[in-house]
Structure 1
């Protein structure tokens, strides 16, 4: 059970980080680090204002559904679909991972203070026929679910808030994304420089922005290339972010779908769930 708990923790950490760093991150995107095309130009005020409007629009999001695909540092490729709500705080993800430590199909549900990880037949083979593992949303250090509470509390505007401050944020042009007419913006963000800039006038937004920068620093990311596709009503339609990290390449794309629509996530049946914490307590009682 110890091995399975550690495995599940790594999967959940990757998927939630992907949804927040990549995944609940509703408004940023990027190209390959090291490409400074346009970096010598001064940002156009009109462009900066347009990107800032999209960022501000994203600040008010309470719920979102999206498709995600790409590479997670040190974990290979992932793709799937996710939905989340901040109030109440719930998350549901269905992901497929390949080419890394974890392979196969995984489901993650966050309900209240519990995370449920499902792995279909793979999980049943390890969990005595049950399909879900229940884990508490607590900081268990680097090997566990550390930081997931903070990640789940972030909103989609957090990563996007870095783009308006890019020294070369620019308007790339008009593009159609899945039939939606959008304006494409891009920019390079130096993580160290972003950390030096003011966090913002509103404390909550500033705190989230600071946490996002800290996450990139923990990954060893020094430079990001962010691309943002903005559609009607200043709504973000798509974003992509790429960077080099100490653990490998980060290359995530997110296509945003339903915005501010109700998200309902139910905990798996207790009869189909293994709860290591409960089993530990039961064993402790038996041993006195």
Structure 2
């Protein structure tokens, strides 16, 4: 493959890999299912219940590192499942996803190490990267264009959607349940996405800003009504989160299970011999073109 061909191909490869590897990019793992059942007269949310949910949301926002498993259905992407770990200080992330039954199928990986992002696409990547399975680019690399959005992906809180639950008009305590051996309290509620969009300008706080970003992501998916289920364990820690909705391209239904809270996250860069450096390829192409 010539330098010119590489320069033309690499961005397309990045786009393809991101489509698969960041299937949960709408808030580090967005999804939902069928439209929520809101039959019956809605009851006024119990203040104690709302406060308990808000406490769990605030606790989640303050975490430095976290690991989680995700599984479910994403409109246009089919069935997805995977595992991810991330740390904010130092910044690091390792996401491995599998997609099937959608536009993009196969296994996809994203690693964030220092100031570089590595995208892995298995055989699909090797077919266009001279047999190499990884593509590397710098987060600050302007040549990568919108692919620098990986920085936002790495910094995102995968439970950010939970910040919408306290805003629900019918948030309620469902009961006590055991999840993966942990005793939890199950909360649930239905969120009117359009209504939240109207309210967002009234508040200017970190939590409000966080909700605003999530609301915008749901609107891009064509979601008008979102059903959220939250399982909170000891120490106000979120153990499980489920999101369901009807999006423009079909039903969303994804469940996220959280573990290894605030534990060290170590991510290794792929072997240099199996990696194509996008920045290096672009420099060589520019040199060749004068």
TM over 0.5: yes
Match of 2:70 in 1: 68
Give the SS at the match of 1:32: coil
Q: Which runs of structure 2 are paired with 1:32-181 in the superposition (5 Å)?
A: 32-37=34-39, 40-137=42-139, 145=147, 147-181=149-183
Q: CA deviation at 1:148?
A: 3.4
Give the SS at the match of 1:18: coil
Give the SS at the match of 2:147: coil
Compute the RMSD of aligned alpha carbons. Answer: 2.7
Give the SS at the match of 1:209: helix
* Contact map agreement 2:91 2:113 (CA 8 A) in 1: yes
In structure 1, what is the Cα distance between the partners aligned to 2:219 and 2:43?
Answer: 26
Residue 27 (structure 2) pairs with residue 18 (structure 1): no
In structure 2, what is the Cα distance between the partners aligned to 1:212 and 1:200?
Answer: 16
In structure 2, what is the Cα distance between the partners aligned to 1:138 and 1:226?
Answer: 35
Pick closer, same or farther for the CA change 1:10–1:226 going to 2, 3 Å: farther
* Contact map agreement 2:20 2:104 (CA 8 A) in 1: no
In structure 1, what is the Cα distance between the partners aligned to 2:149 and 2:114?
Answer: 15
In structure 2, what is the Cα distance between the partners aligned to 1:160 and 1:139?
Answer: 32
TM-score after normalising by structure 2? 0.87
Q: CA deviation at 1:86?
A: 1.5
Q: How many corresponding residue pairs?
A: 283
Q: CA deviation at 1:256?
A: 0.5
Pick closer, same or farther for the CA change 1:224–1:171 going to 2, 3 Å: same
Match of 2:189 in 1: 187
Give the SS at the match of 1:51: helix
Q: CA deviation at 1:73?
A: 2.1
Pick closer, same or farther for the CA change 1:40–1:13 going to 2, 3 Å: same
Q: CA deviation at 1:267?
A: 1.9
* Contact map agreement 1:61 1:156 (CA 8 A) in 2: no
* Match of residue 270, structure 1, among 269, 272, 279: 272
Give the SS at the match of 1:197: helix
Once the two structures are superposed, residues 96-137 of structure 1 have per-residue CA deviations (whole angstroms, 9 ceiling, x without a partner) of 110112212222112244321112333323322211012443
TM-score after normalising by structure 1? 0.87
Q: Which runs of structure 2 are paired with 1:221-236 in the superposition (5 Å)?
A: 221-236=223-238
Q: CA deviation at 1:19?
A: 5.4
Match of 1:287 in 2: 289
